Amino acid sequence: MSTPQQPPAPNTRPTSSNGKRKRMMTLLTIVILLAAIGYGLYYFLVARFHETTDDAYVNGNVVQITPQVTGTVIAVNADDTQTVKVGDPIVVLDPADARVALQQAEANLAQVVRQVRGLYVDDNQYQAQVAVRQSDLSRAQDDLRRRLTVAQTGAVSMEEISHARDAVRSAQAALDASEQQLAANRALTAN
């Protein structure tokens, strides 16, 4: 017959498995401790200086830059969010536009100088014309005076005296017109 087998006693434990478990737990503790020390060193030496975010706001001085002149940009000397100092050139414009504008300004200046010289020449012409008109008036007045003195003797007709008076009026009107032209020209040169 067969003999029934008896189960082992509950108080008996294998000793080899208990030592192996202690070694594994010690080894796991050491690995976790080394990992914690490694991560701590990494954090304090590298990671704490680097920040990342998906939605961040930076508080700083943001200045809008507007040009003083228009032109074609040929170089940009600063990147976005780069700090620049006062006086540093941010962009370089094509100097061709400035050269063309300078040449146009020089041409306009030359034209104005010619116009002003023309006004001074006209001023001299108007002065000469006034002098001629004054001379004509003086001669017409002298002719009228002579005719009036001769008219008392009866040598000159009243018609000649009338013509002499008309000549004086005409010479006076021509002198007035010339003086007005001279005054108008001087007003132009004064502006």
Domain assignment present for residue 87? The answer is: no
pLDDT, tens digit, 9 for 90 and up, residues 161-182 = 888 889 899 988 988 988 888 8
Domain span at residue 27 reads 20-47
Domain assignment present for residue 67? The answer is: no
Residues 102 and 31 in one domain: no
Residues 94 and 146: beta-carbon distance below 8 Å = no
pLDDT exceeds 60 at position 123: yes
Residues 88 and 151: beta-carbon distance below 8 Å = no
Which residues does 175 contact at the CB level (< 8 Å), separation at least 6? Answer: 130, 133, 134, 136, 137
**At what angle are helices 158-190 and 95-151 packed, to 10 degrees?**
160
Domain assignment present for residue 164? The answer is: yes
pLDDT, tens digit, 9 for 90 and up, residues 63-99 = 777 878 888 888 988 887 788 888 888 888 888 888 8
Domain assignment present for residue 52? The answer is: no
pLDDT exceeds 90 at position 188: no
